[in-house]
Amino acid sequence: MAKKEEEYEFEFVKRGSPHKEESAEGESEEESFEEEFIKEEYTVSGANKQKEDYLDVINIIDSLMHNEDFPLKNESSLTISKIISFLNKEIHENKNFTEAWLIKGTVLYKTGKYNGAIDAFDSAMETMPEETSGEKNDTWIKSNGINYRYALKFKAFSLCKLGRYREALNTLDEISAIYPEDPEIESHKNMIQTLENERLIRRTGDYSPRHPGIWERKGRSSYELGKYEEALNDFEKCLESNPDDADIWRNKGSALYMLGRYEEALKALNNSLEINPKDANAWSFKGSTLYRLGRPEEALKTLDKALQKNPNIYEAWFNKGSILFELGRYKQALSAVENSLRINAEDVNALNLKTSILDKLETGKQ
């Protein structure tokens, strides 16, 4: 289970649509599936038919386990009922069968049974052993991290489908607690926060900067979408009521940088660093900004400050390598770009830069 299920994510809940997953008779959708399958089992004769059905179910489950993008929308309700029945039998035999709970939750999520999906993902997490300390250690993460992340992610998607955006965000925060630099999860959080912001604004009718958190999240979402002017406006509104927030000043500086307004970006980043001089990302952005302003030596010193605080910032290493290359300091440039490739070994820009540096070094030997 690796890629995200984009087709089913982040749709608005239809107004007035019920969240209860019940049939007209009051029974759950899952029970309806079960009854349909049981009825079919007793009315269809022949071992060959049963064998074919079994193989079909196994093949679909296998596909779901290896690709979370695998669609179920074209499968009949009878096929879905067979899958649910098969999984329920496996779970009945072993209530700690984590993968069966995860697949059951996935099937329910993809077929619109969001409350049932939440229950299944909660049950999956209950099968996992508790971490041995207050913080999730490396051994626990290695053994359970992938399944734990998957269960929480799709639980959050299910909550989002039900319009329970705040709970969805809290659930994704649980992933961030063990994977703090997960770009996919951060992107999902920004998208859900946007939905929550819009819900709050619709409810209160208040667009004023008295809600700085709304403007900050909205700005981040706009920034992620490349709408830098909108992001800048949102960050400025947030700063009206929260002028001492270093993160917002840094975000404002980033937006100004992306708009090519480097002098203004530098001022915003300096404000951020006055409030929080330990922010490695702010130092990194400042270094890039100084380079754009034609101050390469200052830029190198600033990037070094960023890397002293966090040696795993890809952009800082890459930009340092680029500046050193332009200054003709090829051996130092090679060391910097190799550090960037240590963080992201497949980045095309870094690979191209390394090739250019090696060509210069080879030419110098001749």
Q: Tell me, what CATH number does 59's domain have?
A: 1.25.40
Q: For residue 346, give its domain range.
A: 311-366
247 vs 249: CA distance, rounded Å: 5
Residue 188 lies in a domain: no
In whole angstroms, give the CA distance from residue 35 to residue 350.
58
Segments of the chain scoring below 70 in pLDDT: 1-54, 56, 66, 68, 131-137, 197, 199-222, 365-366
On whether the pTM is more than 0.75, the answer is no
What's the pLDDT at 226?
Answer: 78
Phi, psi of 164, rounded to the nearest 5 degrees: -95, 65
Per the structure, the count of domains in the chain is: 2
Q: Distance between CA atoms of 296 and 324, rounded to whole angstroms?
A: 9
How far CA 312 is from CA of 49, 323, 341, in Å, comes to 57, 18, 11
79 domain residue, yes or no: yes
User: Residues 252, 232: contact at Cβ < 8 Å?
Assistant: yes
Asked if residue 280 is part of any domain, the answer here is no
pLDDT in tens, 152-209: 999 999 998 898 888 988 899 888 888 877 888 888 888 887 777 676 666 655 444 4
Residue 293 lies in a domain: no
pLDDT digits (tens, 9 = 90+) for 76-109: 788 888 888 888 998 999 999 998 899 899 889 9
114 burial (CB, 10 Å; 0-12 / 13-18 / 19+) is buried
169 within some domain = no
Sign of CA dihedral 202, 239, 231, 340: negative
The answer to whether 161 and 198 are in contact (CB under 8 A) is no
Q: What is the pLDDT of residue 27?
A: 45
Residue 274 within any structural domain of the chain: no
142 vs 133: CA distance, rounded Å: 15
Position 69 in a domain: yes
Residue 263: inside a domain, yes or no? no
